[in-house]
Structure 1
Amino acid sequence: MTRLSAFFFILTVSFFFSQKKDTAVLISEVKIDAYKKPVLFMTSTKSVAVVSENLLGQNPPERLLEAVNQIAGARMEERSPASYRISIRGSTLRSPFGVRNIKVYLDDFILSDASGNTYFNIISPKLINRMEIYKGPESGDYGAVTGGTVLLQTRRTDHLSAGVEIGSYGTFEQHLDVARQEGKNFFELFQNYYQTDSYREQSAVKRQQIYVKDRFTYAPRASLNAILLLSDLDYETPGGLTLNQMESDRKQARPSAGGFPGAKEQHAGIRNKMILAGISHETAISSYFSHFLLVQGSYVDFKNPFITNFENRFERNFAVRTHFNFEKNWNSISLALRVGFEGGNQNILVKNYNNNKGIPGSPQNFDQLKNKSGFYFLSQKLNFNKKLFTDISIGLNSNSYEWERMYPVSEEGRVKFKEQWLPNFGVTYLLGKGFSIRGKIGKGNSAPTSEEIRSSNQEFNVNLVPEYGWNKEVGIRKQFGNIIFIEGSYFDFRMKDAIVRRQNESGQEYFANQGNITQKGVEVLLESKNFHLKNEIFSSFKFRFSGSFYDFKFRNYQQLENDFSGNEVTGVPDTTVNSLFNFVFFKKLSVDYSHYYISKIPLNDANSVWSKPSLISNIRLGFPIQIDGAKLNVHLQIQNLYNTDYVAGFDINAFGSRFYNPAAKRNFIFGAHVEF
């Protein structure tokens, strides 16, 4: 044993024996909601990660990237401020921007539209109190996606707070959150304003948001829930750079080239106004039977001045979800059954004009697209003798759309995809207290979204079909006393008819089904409890490590005369490692020190261009001050602590090698948050 390893061994031993007993809930005893199918994390059959309040606290005011990227198997990318992509056990092959192939719910309600697109960037991180991320297909309860599902949860208990933050590049954020139980009503009002000039040219952001919800419990086992979300998001898009352009000037927006004007000259950006309103009802019909019904609608006014055109998009969305539930407990068996339906309609009017420096010019194309999607599902949850747990489901999924070109010519059509039966089977066995093993097999199916059917090249891709595949996985969860929790999982997902992105010489995108993909991976998590130390200076400490190790390969992938079979999947790093250390000094000063390592990434399908590996670190200092009945929390965040040159989101398969969207160098955020 070397002197260094001996020192760390002595330090570790003394550290563990100097701690006080932690009375907090064990990590293995955390409950997940699983969309109204609550279960202990340790006994869940699903591959799920919980993003707690501690992880959410790592985010800067504009994004959830830092929290999501602490989760093994999940990765959030930022092409430019307010332009985000999320991949769960997969790639962003289909997502030049936005969130696709992932189902997103906000409390009871559905953020994803009928085609599968989600405007994730309209949500302020300050609104979210907790997240659950489900990795891989969950077609029984959540519908047909091959990537995964994200559940966003807002406040469920009384809360009154307000805060303000200022930072580098003219960053300013203000929020107010009021949640209160008044008689039979639980009411929440959340308001947020955020703006920044950002690091690069042509990348300013402004977002305003109001969220209102009310839960009216009008009977002991019956409630009525309503929400209203108003969001106004306006952000500029600087565009991708070539490697030479990035090395010459990281802050520049995409310059003019090849007869095309630059992003700044064309005032490139996104202006997205969205209204979402919905109502849901839960009631117990008897001691065994209950019913849930949700109805919601949304309207989107979307403007996108781009290099080659100015797009206006108007979206009307309607969705419904309903299910009947049966639950009964016997001496050694607990059984829950659910049968239901979720469906949605979407009507989109798209108008494209010439872009005259941010002003609509002569018309190019006027189109209408109507999407319909739905799935019937039957699911079962069984607990046998508190040892064996099963979650078995089957869903029948359907998708179709109608398209119409109204200008400059008149033509129309209808496409209906083949209905898909999507089974899922999961089982967990509890070997002992704090020790479980699990296995899972399931099929996923993901239809093209509206922006893939009618992409920015303004053509209808009627030959595009859904991608689908089978996922198999095994996992283990182990709690070591009251100290350490570990989790490991291995999955093997075989995707067919994978949808991939292409770009033409104008930078306009289109999509194609290109062969099959084999996705194999190992994901690990190591997390400690909060150790309280017998030390007036060093008061407490906890840590968290997670990692993803992937082998994703194209199979039977032919593009014109090029054969890319055997190549690594574009946009996917084979290794990511994340860490978070939480320290408390003097029983007051908290220090959160995080790292995010990502290996090199293939930037095109030919694997001829790769990114460099990167290691990013952030640190957050917080200090609470008690003022009568209020608690003031003052904090300082330093993002990109090591001042690394890196890219937080690449434009994969970009025409002209414009792969790079440089991220900000070291920057600072100072904030104050008061809770009453």
Structure 2
Amino acid sequence: MKAARGATIAVACMLFAVSSWAADTTLPTVRVNAARLDIPPFDLPASLSVVTVSPADSGKPGVNLSEALIGVPGVLARDRQNYAQDEQLSLRGFGARSTFGVRGVRLYADGIPATMPDGQGQLSHFSLDAAERVEVLRGPFSALYGNASGGVVQLWSAEGSTPAQTKTGLFAGSNASMRLGLSTRGADGPFDYNLAVSHFQTAGYRDHSRARRESGNARLGFDLGKAGHLTLVFNTLALPQAQDPLGLTRTQAAADPRQAPAVAYQFDTRKSVHQTQGGAVYEFAPDAQTQWRVMAYYGQRGVQQVLSVPVAAQRNPLNAGGVVDLDTDYGGLDARWTRRAAFAGRPLELVLGLSYDDQDQHRRGYENFAGHVLGVTGRLRRDEDDRVWNLDPYAQLYWHFATQWSLLAGVRHSEVHFRSRDHYIAPGNPDDSGQVSYGATTPVLGLQYRPGDKLRFYASYGEGFETPTFAELGYRADGGAGLAFNLRPSRSRQSELGAKWRPASRWELDTALFRADSRNELAVADNSGGRASYRNIGRSRRQGIEASLRGDLGDSWRVVLGATHVQARFLSSFLTGSPAVTVPAGSRIPGVPENYGSLRIERGSALGWRMGAEWQGVGAVSVDDRDSARAPGYLLTGIDLGYGIDLGATRLHLSARVDNLFDRHVIGSVIVNESNGRFYEPAPGRSVMFGAQLEL
């Protein structure tokens, strides 16, 4: 509570100080949403990549966010070809230990959190049809987003355009994959709109991996004149059923990478998701120097998943069964005040804000059998109401205090509260109700030097934290009853040295040296019988270098390159598994390759011929904490060819794409610490995709 009072006092003092400053200087009006500031990314003392979303230009169907992240350094996005487990996403090694969904990285869609207060997020409802850009913030300043912010990924929908524009596209290709998308955007006076719907289905590269997904996204903007601007955002996701092919052992993957293990068929492992959410953003500027912004959102998400937990394991009275049934209501508010002024005759921008998020989840578990019939919903084995909420005040200050120097500072105090109410009490399974609260104050500081118009140098430092998610609190490491409320949040200290160079108007080279030291990181204590428990370990470190290059080669040729080298290590030894095995200090953190990157070279424009080539390379990764095995690295090549035809009032864009051109047999992703040794998820061999898009 002392830390909370300190943060509140600091915010109040900054507010009082800035209210007396003269406001005769206006900063640039380029908005950088990921940093909450109206300054160009080039002038930020932080690693921030802004990527224009146009997956159809490269012959991609626009199904997964990874399609838009080519050339972004620090980011490892893996399409698992398993829509029951969502895409894997990690930044500089943060988030790599997640076996499903996204953890350790904050996600936002149009400013609305796609990460719950406990730190677990999903990418499945991100709409690339409606998107204009993706912003990826890495390094110390991501800590300003609170819990589990090892990095920040934000997708932003485009505003309505004049004249109105409507697109419809059909993509079809290997593995009986098909995607149909329709989007329209326009403006009428003070009103603009962007609407998009899509349908995707696939038989899957691997056996037992069929999936179908429908999604919709709407962004409505209202210019209220002197009263401000209102933006409404709605989206929906329906994943009626996605089969889960599970992972394979090394032997299985070598024998037949397309197979699924027998238990996937025995239990018919699968998942269904239905989500609907909406949000509103109101922005009001009473004068040229002041702006208020208030965001509110609410959503509902239902998940049903059948797992392959063995029947024998469910004889344990503490086992939660093999069918997961979650009903979640979530929502929140974020309000902030921005003031542009001058201090000591130099431009200054101040942001003060308060964020609140709430998640209420009804969690039920059932046996995945009834008698001798497997893969059905059986007896109830878990029934609880879980709630987590946070209340975070924050402040940021940007000061261009000299011609060649600028300062960016911030602080956020987070209070995250967990509460569980157990309604399933049976012999051998007592009342597991309980609660726990975590708090942390996370300061950040960055300094930038500008020797000239084309060059920037910067240094930054920040502290972050990550609480356990409800999934990680689910079981105690000692095997006893109740949730693992003894787990502590991980704390990290991140530092970064970077340089940004623009030798010409259409060229930019960014490089950064980074290091993140963590303590109390979560690691697997035991994983067996469908129960994964965790423990805090001593220290760990992620350090490395990244670089990105974007440029125009002339004659309509363009290049984008992103490369990352990261050393991710446990610095303290710890015990894992049953029987316990010692993981020695210096072992690699699983799921993190030391080297990875992507390159795209393309030529052409909207009309006429368009062509491109891509390379994606990933080094070997350890599959578990013990470093018992490694998935080999790979380099994949993709090529695409397109042609745009002007039909007067309409345009037709045709495309063809080949991925994994040389038909390499590779492990595309790993399931970290999988209890049965089924770590490996093979990537597709050579595959093709044909597309046709009509633009009205």
When normalised by structure 2's length, the TM-score is 0.87
Greater shift in the superposed pair: 40-49 or 235-244: 40-49
2:275 is paired with a residue whose SS is: strand
Instruction: Determine the C-alpha separation between the residues in 1 that align with 2:531 and 2:131.
Output: 34
Q: Say if 1:370 and 1:582 are closer, same or farther in 2 by CA, change over 3 A.
A: same
Question: Which residue of the partner structure matches residue 664 of structure 1?
Answer: 684
After superposition, give the CA deviation of every residue in 1:296-332 in whole Å (9 maximum; x if it has no partner): 1111111001112111100011211011111125896
- Whether 2:246 is the aligned partner of 1:239: answer yes
- Whether 2:376 is the aligned partner of 1:376: answer no
After superposition, give the CA deviation of every residue in 1:506-553 in whole Å (9 maximum; x if it has no partner): 354333322211111100112222512xxxxxxx21222221111221
The residue type equivalent to 1:315 in the other structure is: T
Instruction: Determine the C-alpha separation between the residues in 2 that align with 1:427 and 1:515.
Output: 31
Instruction: Determine the C-alpha separation between the residues in 1 that align with 2:402 and 2:539.
Output: 42
Residues 274 and 302 of structure 2 are in contact (CA less than 8 Å); yes or no, is this contact kept in structure 1? yes
**Which of 85, 89, 93 matches 1:90?**
93
Question: Which residue of the partner structure matches residue 539 of structure 2?
Answer: 516
Instruction: Determine the C-alpha separation between the residues in 2 that align with 1:544 and 1:359.
Output: 48
**Which of 369, 383, 389 matches 2:406?**
389
Question: Aligned runs of 1:187-266 on 2, under 5 Å?
Answer: 187-220=193-226, 222-233=228-239, 234-255=241-262, 262-266=263-267
> Identity over aligned residues, as a percent?
19
Residues 80 and 237 of structure 1 are in contact (CA less than 8 Å); yes or no, is this contact kept in structure 2? no
Instruction: Determine the C-alpha separation between the residues in 2 that align with 1:214 and 1:497.
Output: 44
Question: Which residue of the partner structure matches residue 258 of structure 1?
Answer: none
Return the offset for 1:577. 3.0
Question: Which residue of the partner structure matches residue 568 of structure 2?
Answer: 552
Question: Which residue of the partner structure matches residue 511 of structure 2?
Answer: 488
Greater shift in the superposed pair: 450-459 or 618-627: 450-459
Return the offset for 1:139. 5.4
After superposition, give the CA deviation of every residue in 1:43-84 in whole Å (9 maximum; x if it has no partner): 111211122235784444321223325311010123333221
After superposition, give the CA deviation of every residue in 1:372-422 in whole Å (9 maximum; x if it has no partner): 112110111122455322211011111111112211346244433342111
Question: Aligned runs of 1:60-75 on 2, under 5 Å?
Answer: 60-75=61-76
Q: Say if 1:432 and 1:73 are closer, same or farther in 2 by CA, change over 3 A.
A: same
Instruction: Determine the C-alpha separation between the residues in 2 that align with 1:183 and 1:585.
Output: 31
- Whether 2:490 is the aligned partner of 1:467: answer yes
Residues 139 and 443 of structure 1 are in contact (CA less than 8 Å); yes or no, is this contact kept in structure 2? no
Question: Which residue of the partner structure matches residue 280 of structure 1?
Answer: 281
Residues 179 and 187 of structure 1 are in contact (CA less than 8 Å); yes or no, is this contact kept in structure 2? yes
Return the offset for 1:175. 0.9
The residue type equivalent to 2:65 in the other structure is: L
Return the offset for 1:562. 0.9
1:464 is paired with a residue whose SS is: coil
Instruction: Determine the C-alpha separation between the residues in 2 that align with 1:160 and 1:459.
Output: 54
Instruction: Determine the C-alpha separation between the residues in 2 that align with 1:223 and 1:210.
Output: 23
Instruction: Determine the C-alpha separation between the residues in 2 that align with 1:200 and 1:143.
Output: 38
Question: Aligned runs of 1:44-443 on 2, under 5 Å?
Answer: 44-53=44-53, 57-58=57-58, 59-82=60-83, 83-138=86-141, 141-158=144-161, 159-220=165-226, 222-233=228-239, 234-255=241-262, 262-308=263-309, 309-329=322-342, 333-356=346-369, 357-385=374-402, 387-409=404-426, 411-443=431-463
Question: Aligned runs of 1:496-511 on 2, under 5 Å?
Answer: 496-501=519-524, 504-511=527-534
Q: Say if 1:297 and 1:612 are closer, same or farther in 2 by CA, change over 3 A.
A: same
Gaps (5+ residues) in structure 2?
A: 1-28, 310-321
**Which of 651, 661, 672 matches 1:641?**
661
Question: Which residue of the partner structure matches residue 650 of structure 1?
Answer: 670
Instruction: Determine the C-alpha separation between the residues in 2 that align with 1:188 and 1:35.
Output: 24
Residues 594 and 617 of structure 1 are in contact (CA less than 8 Å); yes or no, is this contact kept in structure 2? yes
Q: Say if 1:654 and 1:586 are closer, same or farther in 2 by CA, change over 3 A.
A: closer
Q: Say if 1:194 and 1:54 are closer, same or farther in 2 by CA, change over 3 A.
A: closer
Residues 71 and 546 of structure 1 are in contact (CA less than 8 Å); yes or no, is this contact kept in structure 2? yes
After superposition, give the CA deviation of every residue in 1:572-619 in whole Å (9 maximum; x if it has no partner): 111113211112399721111000111111112222311212011111
The residue type equivalent to 1:347 in the other structure is: D
After superposition, give the CA deviation of every residue in 1:124-183 in whole Å (9 maximum; x if it has no partner): 433322100011343564223341111101112413211111111111111111111112
Q: Root-mean-square deviation (CA), in Å?
A: 2.3
**Which of 604, 607, 613 matches 1:593?**
613
Return the offset for 1:358. 3.6
Return the offset for 1:455. 6.6
Gaps (5+ residues) in structure 1?
A: 1-28, 256-261, 533-539
The residue type equivalent to 1:654 in the other structure is: E
The residue type equivalent to 1:174 in the other structure is: L
The residue type equivalent to 1:492 in the other structure is: R
Instruction: Determine the C-alpha separation between the residues in 2 that align with 1:566 and 1:51.
Output: 35
Instruction: Determine the C-alpha separation between the residues in 2 that align with 1:93 and 1:402.
Output: 27
When normalised by structure 1's length, the TM-score is 0.89
The residue type equivalent to 2:186 in the other structure is: R
Residues 75 and 86 of structure 1 are in contact (CA less than 8 Å); yes or no, is this contact kept in structure 2? yes
Greater shift in the superposed pair: 312-321 or 586-595: 586-595
Instruction: Determine the C-alpha separation between the residues in 2 that align with 1:139 and 1:417.
Output: 22
Q: Say if 1:69 and 1:417 are closer, same or farther in 2 by CA, change over 3 A.
A: farther
2:564 is paired with a residue whose SS is: strand
Instruction: Determine the C-alpha separation between the residues in 2 that align with 1:430 and 1:387.
Output: 5
